[in-house]
Homo-oligomer: A and B are copies of this chain.
Amino acid sequence: MRAVTIREGGELAVAEHPDPEPGAGEVLVRVRAAGINGADILQRRGAYPAPPGSPPDIPGLELAGEVAALGPGARRFQPGDRVMGIVGGGGQAELAVVHERQLMPVPEALDWPAAGALPEVFTTAHDALFTQSGLRPGERLLVHGAAGGVGTAAVQLGVAAGARVTATVRNEALRGEVAALGAGEVLAPDGFAEHGPFDVILELVGAPNMPANLRALGTGGRIAVIGVGAGFQAEVNLLALMGKRATLRASTLRARPLEEKAATARAMEREVLPLFDAGRVRVPIAESFPLAAVEAAYDRFTAGGKLGKIVLTP
């Protein structure tokens, strides 16, 4: 099979690899679409090695495709079924093996690019907002970096859950599109603290926001840190945190063991996929690229100034 391959020094290529074989409980997926995520960029730079059990040189944290074969004991899907899911790596390839408990069925309403761009960002946003932060109807949610992949997912999931959503977006040209996703307020990154108090803050930018996040947080508020591209060494006033009886959580999906990734997939099936069936949320796609154009696809991802995902379609 052919797969995106990270060479020495971070050069990207499409190279031949042996076809992977599904082990016990695993499914061989013929990949139709695989989104690009920030973790792929870090991995390419050598800053975020793949976890044990994932291909060390093939990036890709999510995929969608058809079931091509079943490993021993796999029984959740049949050959030909449309499936999608998060993986520890190796998604940007023609074939990938995934444990069946990590896979979800693809909602009928979704085409391949949408399905391949959905798992990582919607699972991350759903896990951070609901499983970790317990976001409830009527609460006020602030999403930083709302024009990114996780941001656009979080805004829509917050709105669908009956929360009142405020978004910060650095690129002025994208603010209208974020508002169209349902955010009631779309702000520049400066000065958001005066728009609080917020019950939940989803931090996708990094440490520089933390002092203002603490000011903007309401009593009993929760901050979920999922992205730290702008810096990770944060100053936290513990007395302010005590006074607000607040919670600061941070997380990442990729390093989780099978059972935890499978639990997020079940939560997605119960709580998020019905929203796609009902047309209440969507996957903004900025652009799709064939596998051979991987270099252009990664360049487009890092260039910024886009709303929505960049997808490879092997």
A-side residues, CB < 8 A to B, are 206-207, 210, 225-226, 228, 232-239, 241-252, 255-256
Contacts and interface: CB of A to CB of B under 8 A. Distances in A.
A251 B242 contact: yes
Contacts of A226: 242
Copies of this protein chain in the complex: 2
Contacts of A234: 235-238
B251 A249 contact: no
A248 B245 CA distance: 11
Contacts of A232: 237-239
A241 B228 CA distance: 11
Given A245-B251, A247-B247, A235 B235 contact: yes
Contact of A250 (B228, B238, B251): B238
Contact of A247 (B237, B244, B249, B255): B249
A302 to B, nearest CB: 20
A80 to B, nearest CB: 36
A113 to B, nearest CB: 28
A256 B244 CA distance: 10
Given A233-B235, A247-B247, A247-B249, A242 B225 contact: yes
A226 B206 CA distance: 25
B245 A247 contact: no
Given A225-B241, A242-B228, A243-B255, A248 B236 contact: yes
B246 A239 contact: no
Nearest to A256: B245
- 9 nearest interchain CB pairs? A241-B250, A232-B239, A242-B250, A248-B248, A232-B238, A245-B251, A236-B236, A242-B252, A234-B236
